[in-house]
Amino acid sequence: MSTHPVVGITAYDVHATFGGSSERASLVPGRYVRNVMRAGGAPVLVPAGADARSVVARLDALVLSGGPDVDPGRYGEEPHERTRVAEPGRDEGEAALLAAALDAGTPVLAICRGMQLTNVVHGGTLHQHLPDVVGSDLHLLASGAFGRNTVDVAPGSALHAALGPRTCLAACHHHQAVSQVGAGLVAVAWSADGTIEALESDRGLPLIAVQWHPEQVDDPELFDWIVGLGRAAGQR
């Protein structure tokens, strides 16, 4: 039996250039891949539109990656002028993957957009433009730049068990955030301005969702967590 659990990472469907020609491509930032490999996992790319249940049946764990905004129509709102939704099909495809993973008991790590989608799938809502709520751009610096934000983690949570300390310094780059927490989820981390920075299942399911980007810095604990749970799942 392999000791390298298979970890699916959801992909972007974007235009890319190959040999001078441009076409649609399924891509994922390399930091996700390298962090899964460093933790001992075997990463596989999961494109939008893949059959959720058949894919999840072959995975030991799932990472919902970051990316563009979730369509606000999924939580009953009109788009804010600053909202930029994902490519068609990504919301639906990742929602199906998440549902299939939770049904199967497959461990899930949801990152940034992945956390927001997780909340929406559970019936929650989002702040569409966080600066309107907190009065600053602390969570979203210049394009391509990641700020560092101190996050307070609830003792006794699965996130606290994974990270160790009650506080962590998170790499953040987002203009949206959780507003109303969805059913079946519980907030377990907050920034100083009250922004919800992490969610997990209130039913003991193997799910951690974080608003920050652990793949961007030397922050291996959450990838160790997801790969470790995937290894245990694959050996059952």
Respond yes or no: is residue 78 known to be catalytic. Answer: no
| Domain at 191, CATH number | 3.40.50.880
Residue 1, domain member (yes or no)? no
* pLDDT in single tens digits along all 236 residues of the chain: 458 999 999 998 887 888 778 888 889 999 999 999 999 999 999 998 899 999 999 999 999 999 889 999 999 999 988 888 877 789 999 999 999 999 999 999 999 999 999 999 999 999 998 777 665 566 555 555 566 778 899 999 999 999 987 776 666 666 889 999 999 999 999 988 888 999 999 999 999 999 988 888 767 899 999 999 999 876 66
pLDDT value at residue 142 = 54
Task: Look up residue 74 and give its DSSP letter.
Answer: G
The two three-digit tokens of residue 15, written as one number: 């235009």
Respond yes or no: is residue 213 known to be catalytic. Answer: yes
pLDDT value at residue 1 = 45
- Full domain range(s) for residue 102: 6-234
Residue 227, domain member (yes or no)? yes
- List 174, 200, 213, 221, catalytic entry: 213
- List 112, 160, 175, 197, catalytic entry: 112
Respond yes or no: is residue 197 known to be catalytic. Answer: no
Identify the residue whose tokens are 């709102």: 77
Helix (H) or strand (E) holding 102: helix 90-104
pTM, two decimals, is 0.92
Q: How many domains does the chain have?
A: 1
Helix (H) or strand (E) holding 212: none
- List 94, 197, 200, 215, catalytic entry: 215
